[in-house]
Structure 1
Amino acid sequence: MGLKAALSKPFAAFIVRGINKWKFKAAAAQQQVFMKLIREAAHTSFGKDHDFASIKSYADFKQRVPVRDYEGLRPYIDRVVSGEADVMWKGKPEYFAKTSGTTSGAKYIPISKESMPEHLKAARNALLTYIHETGKADFVNGKMIFLQGSPVMTVKNGIKVGRLSGIVANLVPAYLQRNRMPSYKTNCIEDWETKVDAIVDETVHEDMRLISGIPPWVQMYFDRLTDKSGGKKIKDIFKNLQLFVYGGVNYEPYRAKIEGSIGRQIDSIETYPASEGFIAYQDSQHDKSLLLLANAGMFYEFIPAAEYYNDNPVRLSLEEVALDENYALVLNTNAGLWGYSIGDTVKFVSKNPYKILVTGRIKHFISAFGEHVIGEEVEHALWSVAQREGLSITEFTVAPQINPPEGGLPYHEWFVEFGTAPVDMVAFSREVDETLQQKNIYYHDLITGKVLQPLVIRSLKKNAFVDYMRAEGKLGGQNKVPRLSNDRKIADSLSSFTI
């Protein structure tokens, strides 16, 4: 065992002791975070406009601060972007994390000197809790690769601007820099395919032990490594590969193919980072749920997903949530986001400690007929049947087909790129449909009531989603294909890739 690995174990034990101090007292930790946020933002423009000085409780806060998305907060954010100080948080942000919006165009998410350390601490602690639980620390002595966006930043009105992963790349501690790959020069390559090829050339002969990235882009990296090495499995290229750290999408639809590429199972850690804050991470190899970070400078609110589009939806604090119910997540942060609807849905599977599963996007659903099918349901339906039959899924998305060109009842149209395709597509489609009916009673009623016909699966050509994302200018980095759409934009684009 190397020196870094030996030192990491007592450090991990120390950090976990600190985590345990708030882990089982999360509601109290949230109350402390709430009061600190209100106190420190009381003299900002937002705080004055919403009378923070008189807020004594969460009930007071809900009366004064509505839930808003980015567009709702944009009048304040635009002032921050223009360089004005003390608008939503004290002073000016350290950075803006630039992300793509749908209706908003580019979005500038403020990151403050108080919030940035929380991003770094959470990423570190995810690895340290793994070391503490498993005793496996050898990965810190080898190379670690992070497939991410470019670290190149621009400056807007005196504030550095970049992708979140690129900002973080500039702040990696010095003791990890020697182990970290790819090189800065390679990481700055903007074109994703050129970048992946350069990363392959740089890493193929290294002692890679940890890989981090979004599953579909990690799979592309693995495919090109295999091609480069003449067909070798990843385990034969990186003999000491131990750990896969991922976030952004559900890993399960990709797991079979990725583990097939590796040639064996390896440990994995799911994380839930967002530009707005690092929200949760998997803290046990025996439990796939994620520990909600209750003392990370964010106060969380939860809206029952079924009420989200109501005029006055119920807003709950952490101690008020129930298990196994989907909630839209709302953030209040130490970077100055207030009542901010992040767009994700989560479900609690434990309240002692508070642990969640990320179940989808509040705007990514199909409800063309009132069924409100969500991401968690379609992923379960497809993955569970594929797993039972030993099939692998590269990627998929689902959309409604309201006016079938062939006539007949409308249906849900699934576009699936298989790694290993079913021998009998009709039987496979039927099983997926029946599984979805079991998960969603409204969908079941529409099928049995002859309002909808069972779902239709369109098998796509190899690399269909890569080609689609390339055409959209969204290949690589943190970009993801929406699993569900309530319109036909993605579906119509993919129709030309069907087999």
Structure 2
Amino acid sequence: MAILGKLVKAGIDLTAKLQSTEDNPKHAQENQLKDLLNQAKNTAFGKYYGFEEILKSEDPVSAFRQEVPIFTYETLHSQWWERQERLKDITWPGKPDFFARSSGTTGKTSKRIPITDDFISSMRSVGTSMINSLHLFDFPESLFESEILMLSSSADLEENKQGFREGEISGINVSNFPNWYDIFYRPGKEIAAISDWDERVDAIAEQAPEWNIGAIAGIPSWVLLMLQRIIKRYQLNSIHEIWPNFQAFASGGVAFETYRKDFEKVCKSPITILDTYLASEGFIAFTSKPGTMAMKMALSHGYFFEFIPFDERGYEESGELNAEPLVLGIDEVKVGEEYVLLLSSCAGAWRYAIGDVIRFESLSPPQIKITGRTKFFLNVVGSQLSEEKMDTAILELAEAHKTTINEYMVAAIKNEAGEYIHQWVLVSDVTAEGLGENLDKILKSANKNYAVARSKALRDISVKVISKEQYTNFLAQSNKKGGQTKTPKVMKEEKMKALLRFIDQA
């Protein structure tokens, strides 16, 4: 196995050197758009919006923006994707064999997003680029001799009467792994197909001593629970007692920082954290170099990106898109500014606002961080709290109380007097005493808009603390337990009140 590790690492180093020359970001994106338009020009969508004519124009990017409107999921699905479930050549050539159900962090129901063969290939291509970037991290050869554990949603996909299969994107990816992946992929397709989360984790724990895990990929909340269950089952002090070569964790789905200390508790040796931006809509970005959690954008893998400033130039204070928002290209964005991402892809998404808010950390190469979602922006009474600001406040609060707080939920709700308050629910083992007052002080100090809101329409702040067990039980009741499930940090009032009722009944 030692010689295999040497060969694999040498191969990655060589491939990275051969691919080190990259196109100018603007040119790369222009080429991606032309390629997407050319492939889809004979689809119903392409004919309706005149892709053939756009390609003939002197400035295809400007023509594309002029002819094709911005779509939300609701408009794209109702006008086009719903037909693509039954018919071919609607927004992309052919008829998709798969539709991805989103994990449902927003909205009342899960979204259903087409997954084409070209799209699956593009995600593998981005994954390959991420692997090729590992040569910069100077990992030891033992990593390349070990196995990768991917904690996905269930790979047991549902057969739809329209002739396609559906499930969460991670389950679709696993179900499409070629057989030779079995050499290094764990837990394997058989265990990955177990639909019940607890049964799947129990099966992983049963097999854990037989594996040589060097890297893990998944959402940190569920990976942490899995590691804790394995440690408890075998009465270990750390996960490294059973997997000594565990060296890298590819995190995704939610911000990692609120989980960092708990990961450190279950690990005897330091591990490298790689962030990934892998959604139902695409594998958009990944950490490509050490020393940062910023992610390099996948500019040459079947995606065309546009950016709407997440301020008055693009969005109303309510979080709704302006009637005529400013739209920028990759060559027009600025470091440190926040943007809402528009995506066109080889899955037949066109100028699709997927709801994520990003911030550019560098432009050469373009690297980003996810700062939240448009619907995770708490601004009912002018408090203007982004997910990133709330994460930072929760980390400071946890530090002050010498504890960890992995998950939290918050909503603006009305009290008995009809006044707005912020209701927080924190997942921790600390007592609630003093948390509300301290959290309020932290937010006032860090955010002047919040401080102003607290002096006017935002009358109070209330904090409840629940255990991890209560939290997972709440998710189980709403069928959102495990895999790629993400709970909205900012809840609607109705959802928060349902959570509060659950807490009171527990």
TM over 0.5: yes
Where does residue 164 of structure 1 map in the other structure? Answer: 169
- Shift of the alpha carbon at 1:265? 2.5
Q: Equivalents in 1 of 2:111, 2:420: separation in Å?
A: 36
2:45 partner letter: F
2:143 is the alignment partner of 1:133? no
Of stretches 114-123 and 245-254 in structure 1, the one that deviates more from structure 2 is: 114-123
Where does residue 15 of structure 1 map in the other structure? Answer: 15
Q: Equivalents in 1 of 2:245, 2:286: separation in Å?
A: 24
Of stretches 271-280 and 114-123 in structure 1, the one that deviates more from structure 2 is: 114-123
Where does residue 232 of structure 1 map in the other structure? Answer: 237
2:382 is the alignment partner of 1:345? no
Is the 1:15–1:125 Cα contact (8 Å) retained in structure 2? no
Is the 1:212–1:244 Cα contact (8 Å) retained in structure 2? yes
Is the 2:393–2:442 Cα contact (8 Å) retained in structure 1? yes
Is the 1:144–1:209 Cα contact (8 Å) retained in structure 2? yes
Where does residue 47 of structure 1 map in the other structure? Answer: 46
Tell me the TM-score normalised to structure 2 length: 0.90
Equivalences for residues 209-224 of structure 1 within 5 A: 209-224=214-229
Where does residue 359 of structure 1 map in the other structure? Answer: 371
* 1:81 equivalent among 85, 97, 101: 85
Of stretches 266-275 and 11-20 in structure 1, the one that deviates more from structure 2 is: 11-20
* 1:313 equivalent among 316, 321, 325: 325
**1:27–1:435 CA distance, 2 compared to 1 (3 A):** farther
1:378 partner letter: M
**1:203–1:431 CA distance, 2 compared to 1 (3 A):** same
**1:453–1:467 CA distance, 2 compared to 1 (3 A):** same
1:295 partner letter: S
2:423 is the alignment partner of 1:417? no
Q: What are the ranges of 5 or more consecutive residues in structure 1 without an aligned counterpart?
A: none
- Shift of the alpha carbon at 1:80? 1.0
- Shift of the alpha carbon at 1:485? 2.1
Equivalences for residues 113-192 of structure 1 within 5 A: 113-156=117-160, 157-192=162-197
- Shift of the alpha carbon at 1:140? 2.8
1:209 partner letter: G
Where does residue 330 of structure 1 map in the other structure? Answer: 342
Residue 486 of structure 2 aligns to a residue in which SS?
coil
Where does residue 432 of structure 1 map in the other structure? Answer: 439
Q: Equivalents in 2 of 1:143, 1:118: separation in Å?
A: 23
Q: Equivalents in 1 of 2:459, 2:210: separation in Å?
A: 52
Report the number of matched residues: 491
Where does residue 113 of structure 2 map in the other structure? Answer: 109
- Shift of the alpha carbon at 1:278? 0.6
Is the 1:429–1:457 Cα contact (8 Å) retained in structure 2? yes
2:53 partner letter: S
**1:231–1:100 CA distance, 2 compared to 1 (3 A):** closer
Residue 355 of structure 1 aligns to a residue in which SS?
strand
C-alpha deviations, 1:221-261, integer Å up to 9, x for none? Answer: 12211221125321222222111111000011011112212
C-alpha deviations, 1:51-98, integer Å up to 9, x for none? Answer: 22222322211111111112101221111100x222111222343223
Of stretches 456-465 and 312-321 in structure 1, the one that deviates more from structure 2 is: 456-465
Equivalences for residues 478-493 of structure 1 within 5 A: 478-493=484-499
Q: Equivalents in 2 of 1:462, 1:19: separation in Å?
A: 45
- Shift of the alpha carbon at 1:174? 4.4
Is the 2:247–2:270 Cα contact (8 Å) retained in structure 1? no
**1:356–1:38 CA distance, 2 compared to 1 (3 A):** same
Q: Equivalents in 1 of 2:36, 2:327: separation in Å?
A: 18
- Shift of the alpha carbon at 1:336? 1.1
Q: Equivalents in 2 of 1:495, 1:350: separation in Å?
A: 45
1:238 partner letter: W
Q: Equivalents in 2 of 1:209, 1:67: separation in Å?
A: 42
- Shift of the alpha carbon at 1:269? 1.0
Q: Equivalents in 1 of 2:185, 2:117: separation in Å?
A: 24
C-alpha deviations, 1:417-450, integer Å up to 9, x for none? Answer: 115x37x842x54443333234433112122x34
Equivalences for residues 201-280 of structure 1 within 5 A: 201-280=206-285
1:183 partner letter: G
**1:76–1:389 CA distance, 2 compared to 1 (3 A):** same
- Shift of the alpha carbon at 1:413? 1.9
Residue 301 of structure 1 aligns to a residue in which SS?
strand
Where does residue 286 of structure 1 map in the other structure? Answer: 291
Of stretches 124-133 and 271-280 in structure 1, the one that deviates more from structure 2 is: 124-133
Q: Equivalents in 2 of 1:376, 1:387: separation in Å?
A: 17
Is the 1:95–1:112 Cα contact (8 Å) retained in structure 2? yes
- Shift of the alpha carbon at 1:408? 9.5
Tell me the TM-score normalised to structure 1 length: 0.91
1:42 partner letter: K
Q: Equivalents in 1 of 2:286, 2:4: separation in Å?
A: 23
Residue 363 of structure 1 aligns to a residue in which SS?
helix
- Shift of the alpha carbon at 1:114? 2.0
- Shift of the alpha carbon at 1:132? 3.7
Of stretches 252-261 and 380-389 in structure 1, the one that deviates more from structure 2 is: 380-389
C-alpha deviations, 1:29-71, integer Å up to 9, x for none? Answer: 0111111112222221101111222223222111111111121
* 1:464 equivalent among 470, 476, 479: 470
2:96 is the alignment partner of 1:93? yes
Q: What are the ranges of 5 or more consecutive residues in structure 2 without an aligned counterpart?
A: none
2:10 is the alignment partner of 1:6? no
Q: RMSD of the TM alignment (CA)?
A: 2.4
Q: Equivalents in 2 of 1:230, 1:137: separation in Å?
A: 29
C-alpha deviations, 1:190-212, integer Å up to 9, x for none? Answer: 11111111111111443222222
- Shift of the alpha carbon at 1:273? 0.8
- Shift of the alpha carbon at 1:158? 4.0
Is the 2:85–2:95 Cα contact (8 Å) retained in structure 1? no
Equivalences for residues 299-310 of structure 1 within 5 A: 299-306=304-311, 307-308=314-315, 309=320, 310=322
Is the 2:175–2:189 Cα contact (8 Å) retained in structure 1? no
**1:205–1:304 CA distance, 2 compared to 1 (3 A):** same
Where does residue 473 of structure 1 map in the other structure? Answer: 479
2:196 is the alignment partner of 1:196? no
2:399 is the alignment partner of 1:392? no
2:349 partner letter: L
Q: Equivalents in 2 of 1:238, 1:332: separation in Å?
A: 40
Of stretches 117-126 and 60-69 in structure 1, the one that deviates more from structure 2 is: 117-126
Where does residue 376 of structure 1 map in the other structure? Answer: 388
Q: Equivalents in 1 of 2:165, 2:492: separation in Å?
A: 36
